Each structure stands twice: as C-alpha cells, then as structure tokens.
Structure 1
Amino acid sequence: MDTAVTDATRTVFSRLTEWFSRSWESAAEADMIASLDDSTIRSIAHDCGISPDQLIELAKAGPHAADEMVVMMRALNIDPSEVELRLRNEFRDMQITCSHCASKSECRKDLARGTAAETFAHYCGNAESLNALRANPDFLIA
C-alpha cells in the first residue's frame, strides 16, 4: 500500500478519534453539571464569577471550547499566562466569548495557515481586547 495513503488514513482516523473524544468529554461535563442541584450550580458559578446559565453553557461547550483563544494570543505575540495571571476576569470573559464563537472554523484555518494575525479582526469577538493587549508591552511574549 502507498505510504502517503496510509499516512492520510492515519491522519483522518486520528482526527475522528480526537473529535469523538472531545464530544464524549463535553457530554460528560454537561451531564455532571446537569446532575447538580440549583444551589450547587449557583455556588460554583458565583465562585467562577459567571452566571449559572453561563456555567451550564460552558459545560455544554466542553473543556476545549476556548482553546483557540490561547493559540490566537500566541499568534499575536501575547503571553496568555501573563494575561491570565494579571487580568483574570478579562481572561475569563475572553474565554467565554471564544467558547461561543461561530467563526471557529475560519479561526482554526487562519491559525493553521499562519495568517491569523492579519485576519482575526474580521471575525474574532475578542479582537478589540486582543488588540489592546498587543498594544501593551507588559503582555507581549519576551
């Protein structure tokens, strides 16, 4: 069998496996949150600084719903660890925005192509915040 075909098959298989795994994680997280009583959900949401509805939405979106945000920050030469450390609430709000984004496909493609820094402002719900962070040398990758 042709090696290129075998490699392509493995790549497609690994992507499907990863997708199923993420879907399973998302469902398990949502089920766990749904099994909690209202008081516990309110308490957890309060501790996170979000509403109970946002907590449930985030659980449904899954644990990787905002992964693109950190990758985008790095593509823009922003240090995500520094932002999270110094601007915890803003970082959380940006994660929430990212988790609800309808442009994830475009974002992922631009990140993969290395063109995200030039194009993100056209579709990213966090563009204004990201541009403000890029303008502040305290948050740039050294």
Structure 2
Amino acid sequence: MDSFAHHQSPSLASRLLRWFSDVWVSATETDVIGQLDDRTLQELACDCSASADQLKQLTNAGPHAADEMVALMLAINIDPAEVARLYPQRFRDMQVNCSLCGSKERCRRDLYEQVIAREYVRYCCNANHLTALQKDAPLLMA
C-alpha cells in the first residue's frame, strides 16, 4: 500500500457508519431518559448537577454536542485537558453551555474558516470563561 493511502480521509462508508452509530447512541439515551419516572429523573439530574429539563436537553443534543468547545479552546491556545483537570466544575458548566448553544452553525463555520480566535467573543456563551482562562498561564499550551 502506498503512503498516499495512509493519509486519506475516512471513507464515506466509515463516516456514515460513525454518524449512524452516534445517532443510535443518542436515540437510545433519549429513549432511556424519556422512560424514567419523575423521581428517578430528578435523582439522576441531581447527580449530574443539572435540572431534569437540562438533562433532557443535553441528552437530545447528543454525545458530541460540546465538541466545538474543545476545538475552540485549542484554537485559542487553551489546553482543554488541563482545564478539565484543574477546574472540573467550570469545564462541565462550559460543556453544558456549549451543548445548548444556539450559535453552533456560526461556531462551526468560524472553526472551519479558521477565524474563530477573533470571532468567538461576539457570540460564544462561554466567551467570558474562555477570556479568563487565557489569563491562566498553566492552562496555555506550549
């Protein structure tokens, strides 16, 4: 096999399988949450530090609903792993914000066009958190 074959992007079939798998997982989680009685849903939401409505919204958003947050952090030189390690509650809150954000299309476009570093402050619901994290030197990538 030549070296070009090793650098190709995933095939259409593998991307479709990954998408189908993600949709299946999301649908299954939504079904499970939807079948819980109110008391169990409240207890689970409490365990997750969320309201029952938030938990339902997060489940509906799917398993990759906060992927843009990590991509944005990397684009502005913040180490997401360090934020998660040092500030787990803040990281979780930011994931929730991102998951429920109404500006996903703009964010994805800005990430794709590589202009996110200058544009996110105009619309990102985590902009204040991210600006503060940029001032924390141990969180910055080398």
TM-score (norm 1): 0.82
Per-residue CA shift, 1:104-125, capped at 9, x if unaligned? 1111121122211011111111
- Between stretches 31-40 and 55-64, larger displacement belongs to 31-40
Q: Percent sequence identity over matched residues?
A: 50
The offset of 1:29, in angstroms, is 1.2
Q: Could you list the runs of 5+ residues in structure 1 that have no partner in the other structure?
A: 1-6
The offset of 1:34, in angstroms, is 1.1
Report the structure, 1 or 2, having the larger helix content.
1
Secondary structure of 2:45 counterpart: helix
Alpha-carbon distance in structure 1 between the residues aligned to 2:14 and 2:108: 17
- Between stretches 16-25 and 28-37, larger displacement belongs to 16-25
Q: How does 1:91-110 map to 2 (within 5 A)?
A: 91-110=91-110
Alpha-carbon distance in structure 1 between the residues aligned to 2:34 and 2:136: 40
Structure 1 counterpart of 2:35, one-letter code = S
The offset of 1:40, in angstroms, is 2.1
Corresponding pairs, count: 134
- Please tell me the root mean square deviation across aligned C-alpha atoms, in Å: 2.1
Partner of 1:25 in structure 2?
Answer: 25
Partner of 1:137 in structure 2?
Answer: 137
Structure 2 counterpart of 1:81, one-letter code = A
Secondary structure of 2:68 counterpart: helix
TM-score (norm 2): 0.82
Q: How does 1:1-142 map to 2 (within 5 A)?
A: 18-142=18-142
Secondary structure of 2:65 counterpart: coil
